Structure 1
């Protein structure tokens, strides 16, 4: 009845099953879906290149993924497919140009610097001794403040402990609504692909814990979004076209677009939920795992800190005090550690897809068929359910080497020029997806993470908490950290933090 689906939702660490089955069956294999359905599980580079690059719109999100995304972020760019996706992405692109994103660096530094100051005042003003800090909660507050100002020119005040309904509705949302799915919900979701699309519009009104949480979140986001959009539209109509936040750029681009290809108010409102979800939750979680790995690898942390101090000396030598994009681009160990963390801890570890039409998916490495023959390509029929395993691809020894199951940033420092099948947007990683559906805001996330990590490594030393808790990569739609034995306390990652100044 349930196939292997519920196993993924209840594994101890997200990805454990993916890694085990990939090692046993190869980078493409069949698992059981609910009610006897077959699901094709794929992490093969050539197959991913075919599905995401060469035939991107022929492999749209499957119904379960599409409805799930709509529940949590509305009908924005994460939900859209085909021509709707093309239209929304065209309107959103001006907000994510390289010059636009580079202009946000001072904002990133200001907010991360504020967090460093608050740590010194709250934890170390009376004693410079190390303190155990739940770094994930602070990083979530930083990234929410960043996305508020950069995307909407709106102050959430998360670092100031200001009460705001947006941060409240997102707090532990995935823990409450996605982690450990119930039997009834697993079965219910399996019927979505057989239900009329008009009926699926009402799924969010089911009065259960999961759907009530999603509905309330979208109601709050919708209300706040409409206020901001109305304000920015009026501002632009009054002649103010100088605002740099992403929402203002998006409003201007939409107004100047052909009326037939503009995005609707509902779609515009949904983009706010998308930006908060993608620019807040995922960046905070990746940054948390970054610090966790530095704490476990003190020798690399020291190497990284030496590089940070060297860059700081260069900045002082030129009579400046501000970090620039060029400074970040010139670093070696910081981007290497960031890429390795994105590889080792992909926050979104699965992508649901389906074949829109009959096709043949090529493989870079043959796998065994059911009858024992070697297969180098897989025929699929229209409607075939496919699960792309980002976490498994990011651990493929054929792509990343024999130490693929180890966190080793030096692989990006000593990277060879070996020819590989090109898949991912950044460093051939799948963490930001790939092809026409690749994350539109990946550069924003990269610059933000580098800026925050630069400040933290410059000012603090990170080590494992004294009681050395076991940290789990909990599967809850995203890969979140929890302390084993304290999962009832929600997402948390405590580290021992010591000031350096």
Structure 2
């Protein structure tokens, strides 16, 4: 059988399967009654996309806000071809989804397959006991004891960033794309402390490493294909990896080929890093000490721990690599590339830092208080702050918490029920027929969208000012209603870092990065908004700033920096 005939058969099989799936889903949703029919929610605006175009709109902030305002903590929304889904941020329901019944409410097949394709078999793309085994190996490297050891590295990189920006501002205030600089710093922070490698000296005139350019381009490119990605779980079953790669090469879809090229580049870069680290460990302590991080980085510790682990706990090489690497297991041959830790650490941290700087530029009175607190603390210690002092600066901590509350880098997540279940509610809702609903029967294979930002800004818990950025709220006792709600987030009654068995394993690492960078920048600079450009934040998978305009999708954050007095 020729390659062309094989391709033809594969396409025919997929089309038959796709048409059958569409017919079955349409009949199921529009003809067969569902347990969710009585749940209020917005009308479907598209026969085939339902509300997904609104939910995943890059400018979808108002849709999500109005959804919460009009329908409250539980709403029915429509997916592909009328598929009925739930949008939820009721605290008790979230506890069952995220913690108590997390084995029933698994990551969607789309999420798992997308991350497996891009990131490899790491934390983002494994489930159940497989996922728990990987977390058991990773937990020690994110301990407080290890965080303390990272502080000098964090300060060194943050000070390099400060010094380069100081040179830019030596002749007066300058408008600078801060996203570019903090992305470079975030990559270098995870590179040195996580991978024991250096990508960037952070010098003024040095261009960002191509790796960071690719990473920043990858996320919006993937997000722009969000509807088409729903078919990914079936596409990856067609033929062999080499066949699928060949099919991509012939595809007229430019974005698909761009993703392939980005992954290829990251593979080449990361394979070189990994092999270098593997050789150093094999050669012994002297070789390790010559590397960046001197063997104290996350990857070195993880590799050594895996060598010493029992056969039961040991991770296969491909899984070990996938924690900081990934490989294109489905669209290409299975070759490892650095991704999971790197991608999660860089994009979310740079996004959170960028949002914080943007907010501080709009609130000079808050900025002045932060600067005074940092300067006073540094004068006391005669320089960079030790771990305990850095993490406990009350006003800086309040600024970080409030930013992560009101503007979490990820606004929502999806889960799929793997069997029929019943979801209890903390606050009963009124059904379309007028009945009071305190629990919802949910069929197997139902998607549930958890509103992370909606929970963080729920006025029933946070008060009437829940949508205002007010760092001072963290300097007083939080509302009783919030304390009594038992929101299942791992951090400060927030859903920003999730909770349960799939909570963000590096949330302490991320907070430490933010505070180290902010302590260096806010001591030195006065930051104000751009005089010429207005910033818009896009509601992509990870919130991203761009210059406001109908055609602008290039991530950037122009702010004006001046040396502080």
Q: Same fold (TM over 0.5)?
A: yes
Q: Deviation per CA, 1:143-186, whole angstroms, max 9, x where unpaired?
A: 1111111111111016243674422321322233323x4xxx62
Query: Equivalent residues in 2 for 1:154-169 (5 A)?
Result: 154-157=197-200, 159-160=202-203, 161=206, 164-169=209-214
For residues 162 and 141 of structure 2, the distance between their equivalents in structure 1, rounded to whole angstroms, comes to: 29
The corresponding residue for 2:354 is 288
Aligned match of 2:541 in 470, 477, 492? 477
The corresponding residue for 1:25 is 71
Shift of the alpha carbon at 1:210?
3.4
Q: Answer yes or no: is 1:259 the counterpart of 2:302.
A: no
Q: Answer yes or no: is 1:143 the counterpart of 2:186.
A: yes
Aligned match of 2:261 in 196, 216, 229? 216
SS in 1 for 2:385: coil
> Contact conserved, 2:114 with 2:232, CA < 8 A, in 1?
no
Aligned match of 1:335 in 383, 393, 397? 397
The corresponding residue for 2:273 is 228
The corresponding residue for 1:379 is 441
Aligned match of 1:246 in 275, 298, 305? 298
For residues 140 and 56 of structure 1, the distance between their equivalents in structure 2, rounded to whole angstroms, comes to: 33
For residues 127 and 258 of structure 2, the distance between their equivalents in structure 1, rounded to whole angstroms, comes to: 25
Q: Answer yes or no: is 1:62 the counterpart of 2:98.
A: no
CA 1:359–1:158 in 2, change beyond 3 Å: closer, same or farther? farther
SS in 1 for 2:402: helix
For residues 227 and 329 of structure 1, the distance between their equivalents in structure 2, rounded to whole angstroms, comes to: 35
CA 1:200–1:157 in 2, change beyond 3 Å: closer, same or farther? farther
Shift of the alpha carbon at 1:438?
0.3
The corresponding residue for 1:396 is 458
> Contact conserved, 2:378 with 2:384, CA < 8 A, in 1?
no
For residues 232 and 90 of structure 1, the distance between their equivalents in structure 2, rounded to whole angstroms, comes to: 22
Q: Deviation per CA, 1:284-332, whole angstroms, max 9, x where unpaired?
A: 110000011111111111111221122122213xxxx331112123311
For residues 159 and 67 of structure 1, the distance between their equivalents in structure 2, rounded to whole angstroms, comes to: 35
For residues 182 and 53 of structure 2, the distance between their equivalents in structure 1, rounded to whole angstroms, comes to: 31
Q: Answer yes or no: is 1:132 the counterpart of 2:172.
A: no
Shift of the alpha carbon at 1:338?
0.4
Q: Answer yes or no: is 1:77 the counterpart of 2:126.
A: no
CA 1:424–1:209 in 2, change beyond 3 Å: closer, same or farther? farther
Higher relative contact order (CA 8 A, sep 6+): 1
The corresponding residue for 2:51 is 4
> Contact conserved, 2:216 with 2:347, CA < 8 A, in 1?
no
Query: Equivalent residues in 2 for 1:297-308 (5 A)?
Result: 297-308=363-374
For residues 489 and 155 of structure 1, the distance between their equivalents in structure 2, rounded to whole angstroms, comes to: 29
> Contact conserved, 1:15 with 1:392, CA < 8 A, in 2?
no
The corresponding residue for 1:436 is 501
For residues 65 and 264 of structure 1, the distance between their equivalents in structure 2, rounded to whole angstroms, comes to: 22
> Contact conserved, 2:371 with 2:522, CA < 8 A, in 1?
yes
For residues 144 and 200 of structure 1, the distance between their equivalents in structure 2, rounded to whole angstroms, comes to: 36
For residues 154 and 48 of structure 1, the distance between their equivalents in structure 2, rounded to whole angstroms, comes to: 39
How many residues in Structure 1 have an aligned counterpart in Structure 2?
A: 486
> Contact conserved, 2:188 with 2:198, CA < 8 A, in 1?
yes
Q: Answer yes or no: is 1:270 the counterpart of 2:322.
A: yes
SS in 2 for 1:10: coil
> Contact conserved, 1:462 with 1:498, CA < 8 A, in 2?
yes
Farther-moved stretch of structure 1 (289-298 vs 261-270): 261-270
Larger radius of gyration: 2
SS in 2 for 1:377: strand
The corresponding residue for 2:516 is 451
Q: Deviation per CA, 1:219-265, whole angstroms, max 9, x where unpaired?
A: 33333333333333343344428711111011111112233443223
For residues 493 and 196 of structure 1, the distance between their equivalents in structure 2, rounded to whole angstroms, comes to: 37
For residues 487 and 224 of structure 1, the distance between their equivalents in structure 2, rounded to whole angstroms, comes to: 32
CA 1:219–1:269 in 2, change beyond 3 Å: closer, same or farther? farther
Q: Answer yes or no: is 1:95 the counterpart of 2:141.
A: yes
CA 1:232–1:357 in 2, change beyond 3 Å: closer, same or farther? same
Farther-moved stretch of structure 1 (154-163 vs 285-294): 154-163
Shift of the alpha carbon at 1:489?
5.8
For residues 359 and 379 of structure 2, the distance between their equivalents in structure 1, rounded to whole angstroms, comes to: 26
CA 1:201–1:291 in 2, change beyond 3 Å: closer, same or farther? farther
Aligned match of 1:190 in 230, 237, 241? 230
SS in 2 for 1:424: coil
For residues 267 and 158 of structure 1, the distance between their equivalents in structure 2, rounded to whole angstroms, comes to: 30
Shift of the alpha carbon at 1:75?
1.8
Shift of the alpha carbon at 1:201?
8.3
Q: Deviation per CA, 1:349-375, whole angstroms, max 9, x where unpaired?
A: 121111122221122222222322221
Shift of the alpha carbon at 1:383?
1.1
For residues 172 and 336 of structure 1, the distance between their equivalents in structure 2, rounded to whole angstroms, comes to: 31
Shift of the alpha carbon at 1:96?
1.2
> Contact conserved, 2:221 with 2:259, CA < 8 A, in 1?
no
SS in 2 for 1:476: coil
Shift of the alpha carbon at 1:199?
4.0
Normalising by structure 2, report the TM-score.
0.81
The corresponding residue for 2:473 is 411
